[in-house]
């Protein structure tokens, strides 16, 4: 069961899962996100990959959380200091998403859950950290009395390495042109200004530079090896 948003990371994870598992399903969420167009992108990519895509609504984030992703009146802004997460943080989002995904996974007989979070190149979201995933895995298993394994294939990879993964999986052009990573909902290269677009572009430029120089592989941290 892949948590699938139609963005760069989850798309890479989807095709990683297709290589690893015999049967793959995906789940997505309509939670009032500013970048709602990601659902259309996910639908198109899931159809291309020949996997099912279930979209479930969670419509309370805008009423219980102050953030710029579910409240359009709040402008996307950078944090005041490096120790603070950006105001795009939707508190507890991944915990809820994983819980929903696990409930659905148990229903359809899936024991493995894949989520595209990572703490190497990330925006400081606490629910993208490895400690959180390990804790959530234990808690969800106890709550549902089922042995799930939560996979995070991107956890220790920089964005340049994630671009390389997409290339290795044969989906570089799909990720570059069809995914929606932009917080303003613009496909492909996005707006170029929001934090998500900037992080994506830095990784892309780093990977393209290394690839054009003849480097054949990046290590986990994103540095090139000849």
pLDDT in tens, 81-113: 677 888 999 999 999 999 999 999 999 999 999
What's the half-sphere exposure (Cβ side, CA atoms, 13 Å) at 11? 31
Full domain range(s) for residue 86 = 2-225
| Strand locations in the chain (E) | 2-3, 25-30, 52-57, 112-114, 149-151, 217-218, 224-225
Q: How many domains does the chain have?
A: 1
pLDDT category at 226 given cuts 50, 70, 90 is very low
Contacts of 224 (CB under 8 A, 6+ apart): 210, 213, 215, 217, 218
Q: Which among 180, 187, 151 has a CA at the least distance from the CA of 13? A: 151
CA distance 33 to 71: 8
Kindly report the pTM of this predicted structure. 0.92
* CATH code assigned at 24: 3.40.50.620
Across 50-59, 84-93, 157-166, least confident range: 84-93
| Model confidence pLDDT, tens digit, residues 168-217 | 999 999 999 999 999 999 999 999 999 899 999 999 999 999 998 876 56
């Amino acid at each position: 069961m892949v948590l699938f948003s139609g963005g760069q990371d989850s798309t890479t994870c989807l095709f990683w899962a297709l290589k690893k598992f015999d049967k793959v399903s995906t789940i997505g969420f309509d939670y009032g996100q500013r970048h709602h167009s990601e659902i259309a992108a996910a639908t198109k990519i899931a159809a291309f990959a020949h996997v099912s895509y279930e979209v479930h609504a969670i419509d309370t984030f805008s009423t219980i959380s102050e953030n710029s992703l579910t409240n359009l009146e709040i402008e996307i802004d950078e944090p005041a200091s490096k120790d603070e997460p950006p105001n795009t943080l939707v508190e507890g989002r991944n915990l809820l998403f994983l819980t929903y995904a696990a409930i659905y996974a148990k229903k359809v007989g899936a024991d493995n859950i894949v989520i595209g979070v990572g703490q190497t190149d990330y925006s400081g979201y606490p629910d993208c950290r490895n400690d959180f995933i390990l804790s959530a895995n234990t808690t969800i298993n106890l709550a549902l009395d089922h042995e799930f394994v939560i996979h995070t294939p991107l956890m220790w990879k920089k964005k340049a390495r994630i671009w390389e993964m997409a290339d290795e999986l044969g989906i570089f052009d799909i990720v570059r042109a069809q995914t929606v990573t932009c917080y303003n909902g613009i496909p492909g290269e996005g707006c170029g200004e929001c934090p998500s677009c900037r992080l994506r572009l830095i990784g892309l430029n780093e990977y393209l530079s290394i690839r054009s120089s003849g480097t054949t592989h990046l290590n986990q941290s994103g540095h090139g090896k000849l």
